[in-house]
Amino acid sequence: MTDVHGVAVELAEHSGLLDKLYELCCVDGSSNASIATKNGGVELLTSLCDFLHGRSLKLLVSALRTLSSIIHVHISLLKDLCRLHLEKESTLRNVGIS
């Protein structure tokens, strides 16, 4: 289990770390957001946001922004998968296969 308090203290000392993670997760075509997710980034950022609530507004905003960048990538991927699935179903229907 990650020591969220220790992470928060570390982030407070190096507040640019969240901004750097945000930038990395926003790079189009990279798998940085997926890598962050696989390595517990969503859980860590969620716990961090909970910890920071009422303690540090600046860090909380930065953590929420970073979390949103990771989630946004996954939502975009889900939208693409749904679109492809619907297109496939439509094509199969058009050729008479259900």
* Burial class of 66 by CB neighbour count within 10 A (0 to 12, 13 to 18, 19+): buried
Q: Supply the pLDDT for residue 31.
A: 87
Tell whether 91 is covered by a domain.
Answer: no
Residue type for 84, please?
L
Q: Does the predicted TM-score (pTM) go above 0.75?
A: no
C-alpha 95/C-alpha 88 separation (Å) is 11
For the chain, how many structural domains are there in total? Answer: 1
**Could you give the count of Cα atoms lying within 13 Å of 59 in the half-sphere of its Cβ?**
23
Q: Supply the pLDDT for residue 72.
A: 77
Tell whether 80 is covered by a domain.
Answer: no
Q: Supply the pLDDT for residue 30.
A: 81
- Per the structure, the complete domain to which residue 68 belongs is given by 4-73
Q: Which residues of the chain have pLDDT under 50?
A: 1
Q: Supply the pLDDT for residue 7.
A: 66
C-alpha 25/C-alpha 15 separation (Å) is 17
Q: Supply the pLDDT for residue 80.
A: 76
Per residue in 39-55, pLDDT (tens digit) is 888 888 888 888 888 88
**Could you give the count of Cα atoms lying within 13 Å of 68 in the half-sphere of its Cβ?**
7
